[in-house]
Amino acid sequence: MTNQSSVLPFERPKAAQAETRPLMEARNITKYLGGKLILDQVSLSLNKGEFKVLIGPSGSGKSTLLQCLHFLLIPDKGDVLLEGKSAMDMSHKNICAFRQEIGMIFQDFNLFDHLTAKDNVAIALRKVKKWSKDQALSKARDELDKVGLADKAELYPAQLSGGQKQRVSIARAMAMEPKLMLLDEPTSALDPELIGEVLNVVANLAKGGMTMLMVTHQIGFARHLVHEINFMENGRVIESGHPESLLANPASRTAMFCARLSELTGNQ
């Protein structure tokens, strides 16, 4: 059971005012894997400062959608736009630059086992942005401090807990100064007592105005923090709305799924 009391009390950040165009937009994304339709014309958008979540049963396409938005998987049809610019026709060089604008957090941390926490954070700054070693390490220490790991900078992943590893991965993504963050069930690989420390970091990112789209089953967390819940099923977003309106309607597909999830996990 997730101890929701371990998560800092936090009010939902104010949604950014509507702009002329979304920061990121997915238009009718369709993706097949192994001949099977995984995403069926999915569309959604994120304005600057918005925090949205994707929920739904396993196999509904949530993680695949995030990978398409980051262009780790190339959509078969549709388009992904960042600040109005389409990624579909970009060159390889421009796609690499596109990815640098988007932080991606995975379930399994993806840290380099042979590097310390600070070096895991600094490596992209040195290899991608061509920063000097001293400049990159200084930035790495700053980012580790922001996620509460200043005293773990010299430790290797094997010396860290799961929650600490995930916080290092968040620090690594934030060091690149992305315009938005995609988080794929960042707490799913953690023991229950470690979930709160990662959710606190995510909450602080939201408070700071970071634009985020997160796949999660942490419904209690989402209920109080996010601006919009998107419920996915069979490769489509079938229901979207503010948590208070969706979860207050017991007949909504989202509310029924969340109620069943709470029964199974004891997550309130």
Q: Summarize pLDDT for 212-267 with one digit per residue, the tens.
A: 999 998 888 888 889 999 999 999 999 999 998 888 887 788 888 888 876 665 54
Report the Cα 230 to chain-centroid distance in Å.
14
Is residue 206 a contact partner of residue 212, using CB atoms and an 8 Å limit? yes
Report the Cα 245 to chain-centroid distance in Å.
23
Per-residue pLDDT tens for 157-196? 999 999 999 999 999 999 999 999 999 999 988 888 889 8
Per-residue pLDDT tens for 114-165? 999 999 999 999 999 999 999 999 999 999 999 999 999 999 999 999 999 9
pTM: 0.89
Residue ranges of the domains in the chain? 111-177
Residue 49: closest CA among 27, 74, 23: 23
Per-residue pLDDT tens for 211-225? 999 999 888 888 888
74 pLDDT higher than 60:
yes
- Alpha carbons within 13 angstroms on the beta-carbon side of residue 88 total 15
Q: Rounded to an integer, what distance in angstroms lies between the CA atom of residue 42 and that of residue 235?
A: 8
Question: What φ, ψ does residue 29 adopt, rounded to 5°?
Answer: -70, 125
10 pLDDT higher than 60:
no
Q: What torsion, rounded to 10 degrees, do the Cα atoms 132, 138, 142, 145 define?
A: 130
